[in-house]
Amino acid sequence: MPNDEIRDDVAAYERQVSDRISALSAAAAAGELDPAVDIMASAIERGGVIQAFGTGHSEAFAMEIAGRAGGLIPTNKIALRDAALWGSHELSELIGKPPLERDPNIAADLLATVELHPEDAFIIASNSGVNGSIVGLALLAKERGHRVIAVTSLEHTRAVEPKHPSGKRLSEVADVVIDNLAPYGDATLHDVLPVPVGAVSSITAAFIAQLLTIGVSRRLSTPEQVAPLYLSANIPGGDDHNNVLEARYGSRIKRGA
């Protein structure tokens, strides 16, 4: 392929990404993420943990929220494999058909692996926002009195049918909804190849996760105390700093593969 075509594709994709990042930045500056920041900061102030969940590529969002350098320590990542690692499911179920993420019954099994506190808040990411495990976990969290934040593509979720027996989408269950601004189908370049290419939801979701982390950290920090944030484990003193703060939450936060 000629280099000028490659350059055009790269430039087109950069515009798709940068326009969405700029829009999210403007939304955050205008206070549109404040309701989510309020829920997360309040949960932590009251001794709660932020429970993050996502399946497929949306698990990357949960990884941005929980357990990374510069991230909040009172966070826990829930993953589908937890049902096998910590629950009674077989590993073979993780690669079965249909995908486990579509099974609404897995939500209760996943929640059973989590050591919940009454003040915990949930933040759940799903581009489509319709799969059974995603909606099921959000519904169970709400039933138990927890606040739920959704990060989803409103354009996509409104264009597809819910797969949970309740007939609900994640956006219809959550207390606060953040639009990741991904288009229907996620991919943004429709004139490059016969099939659209250039997905953006992972990039915008990661940006949202960091905006929320910054907002919550600012809210929790005082002249006397800094927000409970991870230092990189790969710098001197990082492990010692992190271990002391993690110990406050014990087994309520799991840091696994």
pLDDT tens digits along 175-212 = 999 999 999 999 999 988 899 999 999 999 999 999 99
- CA atoms of 217 and 229, how far apart (whole Å): 8
Strand ranges, E, within 28-106: 50-54, 75-78
pLDDT tens digits along 3-19 = 888 899 999 999 999 99
Which fold does the domain 3-252 belong to in CATH? Answer: Rossmann fold (3.40.50)
Domain boundaries, the chain: 3-252
pLDDT at residue 98 is higher than 80: no
pLDDT confidence tier of residue 51, bands split at 50, 70 and 90: very high
pLDDT tens digits along 201-256 = 999 999 999 999 999 999 999 988 889 999 999 999 999 999 999 999 999 999 87
- CA atoms of 217 and 109, how far apart (whole Å): 32
Query: What length does the chain have?
Result: 257
pLDDT tens digits along 133-161 = 999 999 999 999 999 999 999 999 999 99
- What's the pTM? 0.94
pLDDT tens digits along 79-94 = 999 988 888 888 888 8
> What is the predicted pLDDT for the residue at 2?
59
Residue 222, helix vs strand vs coil: coil
Residue 82 C-alpha from the chain's centroid: 16
pLDDT, mean of residues 58-78: 97
pLDDT at residue 1 is higher than 60: no
Q: Is 99 left (phi over 0), alpha (psi -120 to 50) or beta?
A: beta
